[in-house]
Amino acid sequence: MSDRPVPSGRVVITGVGAVTPLGTGVAKFWPRLLAGESAVERITLLDPSEYTTQIAAEVKDFVAEDWLDKKEARRIDRFIAFAVAAAAMAMQDSEIKVDDDLRNEFGVMIGSGIGGLTYLGEQHRRQIEGGPSKVSPFLVPYMIPDMASGYVSILNGLKGPNTCVVTACSTGANAIGDAYHIIKRGDAICMLAGGTEAPINELGLGGFCAARAMTTRNDDPAHASRPFDKDRDGFVIGEGSAVFVLEDYDHAIARGAKIYGEVIGYGMTGDAYHITQPDPNADGAYRAVKMALRTAGKSPEDIGYVNAHGTSTYYNDKGETMAIKRAFGDHAYNVPVSSTKSMIGHTLGAAGAIEALICLLAMRDSKLPPTINYETPDPECDLDYIPNVARDKEVNISMSNSYGFGGHNVSLILKKV
Q: Catalytic residues, which ones?
A: 169, 309, 346
Helix axes 283-296, 314-328, angle to 10 degrees: 40
Residue 131 makes CB contacts below 8 A (sequence gap 6+) with: none
Confirm if 338 and 368 have CB atoms less than 8 A apart: yes
Q: How far apart are CA 203 and CA 37, in angstroms?
A: 28
Residues 6+ apart with CB under 8 A from 254: none
- Give the Cα separation of 153 and 145 in Å (integer): 14
Other C-beta atoms closer than 10 Å to the C-beta of 162 total 19
Q: At 371, give phi and psi (nearest 5°).
A: -100, 105
Whole-angstrom Cα distance, residue 318 to residue 380? Answer: 6
Distances from the Cα of 44 to the Cαs of 53, 56, 341, in angstroms?
13, 9, 20
70 contacts: CB under 8 Å, gap ≥ 6? none
Are 284 and 269 spatial neighbours (Cβ–Cβ below 8 Å)?
yes
Residues 6+ apart with CB under 8 A from 304: 335, 336, 393, 394, 395, 396, 397, 398
Nearest alpha carbon to residue 347 among 311, 317, 314: 311
> Which stretches of 233-275 are DSSP H helices?
249-254
Number of Cα atoms under 13 Å in the Cβ half of residue 326: 16
Given a contact cutoff of 8 angstroms between Cβ atoms, the answer to whether 167 and 406 are in contact is yes
**What's the CA gap between 212 and 165, in Å, rounded?**
26
